[in-house]
Amino acid sequence: MLKEVIRKEVEREGFITFDRFTELCLYHPDFGYYTAERVKALPGEDFFTAPELSPVFGKVVARHLEKISQEKGIPLNILELGGGKGFLAKDLLELLPVETYLILEKSEVARKVIPGVKVVGSLEEIEEFSGFVISNEFFDAFPFKRIVKRGGKLYEVVITLKGSELKEELHPYSGNLPCEPEEGCEYSLFIGWEEFLEELFRKFKRGYFLTFDYGSSCDSLKVRKSGTFRAFSKHTLIDNYLEFLGKADLTSSVDFGYLRKILEGHLVNVSLEPLSTFLLKEGVERFLSPEDVVVAVTLLVDMGRKFWVLSGVRGAYRR
Ligand SMILES: C[S@@+](CC[C@H](N)C(=O)[O-])C[C@H]1O[C@@H](n2cnc3c(N)ncnc32)[C@H](O)[C@@H]1O
């Protein structure tokens, strides 16, 4: 059981950091949420991602990629980061004359056989690449620390033991922070984005980068008293996450200022806009039918306000 794994590690080390805790809860090979639990669930059983909700999302993305491909002469080679169960891949393959489609997915069990798609588990398996790198809800699925400010000092939440039960504790934090929480507030620091993107862009030579995720700017994240860390199980927000080890999605909001800054080191013409703006610009209404009221409201209002679209160009294009 995951509790045993975590308990043993805490006993050995004295405590585990929250990013290590989220890594184990989400990606432990036998008991992790993404590696063992969510893959069993039907689409949307714990939460819906936009491609799982409706093919309308894929239709809009397809239109955008086709437009960029024609404008800039970028070949329709697609690398999808964290492709999960492959919903977006299936939709895009149906709509676009894709040359190659590659999914990077670290959860072995999530990797379904989709005709026309090659699935790899790590960036090491990818050769030099030119084309489109796309992702939905990928950067929010990295492990993260929870940093709080109390009495003017920074602390990180760690997991320790009280008897045989796991509990939170605060330890002083002196590492770097792209965004400092205000007094009494909590900020989630995703771990591994910089290294991952460094490695990705060693392979990704030319093309277009596009990512969708929920999040905000430092200005709004640093004033959140209870932070943005959330645990979900079966569509319900739970507060006793220590009792749902490996059974709940542990997630937090993406700091788009931080992500944008990293990406600006690798891309040009970086742009950030709300999902609702992106969908309307790409003519989402043309893909919606009268039966799609719930889809329209979810995509345009609910996700539309919380999600952002970050894009940029890799390498030089004349057109
Ligand atoms: C929230 S899910 C989103 C799945 C899919 N993109 C969608 O929209 O339905 C995030 C996915 O990213 C995968 N993932 C997270 N970090 C990864 C990494 N470093 N390399 C490959 N896959 C990763 C997870 O296993 C999970 O399947």
Q: What is the pLDDT of residues 40-87, one digit of tens each?
A: 555 545 568 999 999 999 999 999 999 999 999 999 999 999 999 899
Q: 163: burial class by Cβ within 10 Å (0-12, 13-18, 19+)? A: exposed
Measured in angstroms, how far is the CA atom of residue 282 from the centroid of ligand 1? 25
Measured in angstroms, how far is the CA atom of residue 53 from the centroid of ligand 1? 16
Contact (Cβ atoms closer than 8 angstroms) between residue 51 and residue 88:
yes
* 105 Cβ inside 6 Å of ligand 1: yes
> Which residue's CA lies nearest to atom 27 of ligand 1?
84
* 90 Cβ inside 6 Å of ligand 1: no
What single letter denotes the amino acid at residue 260?
A: R
User: Model confidence over 204-259: pLDDT tens digits?
Assistant: 999 999 999 999 999 999 999 999 999 998 778 999 999 999 999 999 999 999 99
- SS3 sequence of 197-223: HHHHHHHEEEEEEEEEEEEECHHHHCC
CATH numbers and ranges of domains, the chain: 2-267 (3.40.50.12710)
Question: What is the distance between the alpha carbons of residues 95 and 76, in angstroms, rounded to a whole number?
Answer: 12
pLDDT at 188 over 70: yes
Among 33, 52, 105, 213, residue to substitute to test ligand 1 (most atoms within 8 Å of Cβ): 105
Higher pLDDT, 307 or 319: 307
What single letter denotes the amino acid at residue 56?
A: V
* 144 Cβ inside 6 Å of ligand 1: no
Measured in angstroms, how far is the CA atom of residue 86 from the centroid of ligand 1? 10
Q: 176: burial class by Cβ within 10 Å (0-12, 13-18, 19+)? A: exposed
Measured in angstroms, how far is the CA atom of residue 246 from the centroid of ligand 1? 15
pLDDT score recorded for residue 293: 93
> Which residue's CA lies nearest to atom 11 of ligand 1?
82
Measured in angstroms, how far is the CA atom of residue 232 from the centroid of ligand 1? 16
User: Model confidence over 17-43: pLDDT tens digits?
Assistant: 999 999 999 999 999 999 886 655 555
* 86 Cβ inside 6 Å of ligand 1: no
pLDDT score recorded for residue 162: 92
Q: 7: burial class by Cβ within 10 Å (0-12, 13-18, 19+)? A: middle
Q: What is the DSSP secondary structure assignment for residue 108, as one 8-state letter?
A: G
Question: What is the distance between the alpha carbons of residues 25 and 35, in angstroms, rounded to a whole number?
Answer: 9
pLDDT score recorded for residue 36: 82
User: Model confidence over 195-206: pLDDT tens digits?
Assistant: 999 999 999 999
Among 27, 135, 138, residue to substitute to test ligand 1 (most atoms within 8 Å of Cβ): 138
Contact (Cβ atoms closer than 8 angstroms) between residue 138 and residue 65:
no
pTM above 0.85, yes or no: yes
pLDDT score recorded for residue 107: 86
Nearest to 258 by CA among 297, 304, 182, 310: 310
Contact (Cβ atoms closer than 8 angstroms) between residue 193 and residue 19:
no
Measured in angstroms, how far is the CA atom of residue 183 from the centroid of ligand 1? 33
Strand ranges for the chain from DSSP E: 16-17, 77-81, 100-104, 117-120, 129-136, 144-150, 153-162, 165-172, 186-190, 204-216, 230-233, 236-238, 249-251, 254-255, 268-274, 307-314
The mean pLDDT of 174-192, rounded to a whole number, is 97
Measured in angstroms, how far is the CA atom of residue 139 from the centroid of ligand 1? 8
Mean pLDDT of the chain: 93
pLDDT score recorded for residue 111: 67
- What tokens appear for 125 in the block? 């398996």
> Which residue's CA lies nearest to atom 20 of ligand 1?
106
Measured in angstroms, how far is the CA atom of residue 94 from the centroid of ligand 1? 22
pLDDT score recorded for residue 234: 79
pLDDT score recorded for residue 319: 53
The mean pLDDT of 118-123, rounded to a whole number, is 94
pLDDT score recorded for residue 85: 87
> Which residue's CA lies nearest to atom 14 of ligand 1?
82
pLDDT at 8 over 90: yes
Query: Quick one: which atom of ligand 1 is closest to the CA of 80?
Result: 6
User: Model confidence over 84-110: pLDDT tens digits?
Assistant: 989 999 999 999 999 999 999 998 766
Angle between helices 55-72 and 87-95 in degrees, nearest 10:
50
* 227 Cβ inside 6 Å of ligand 1: no
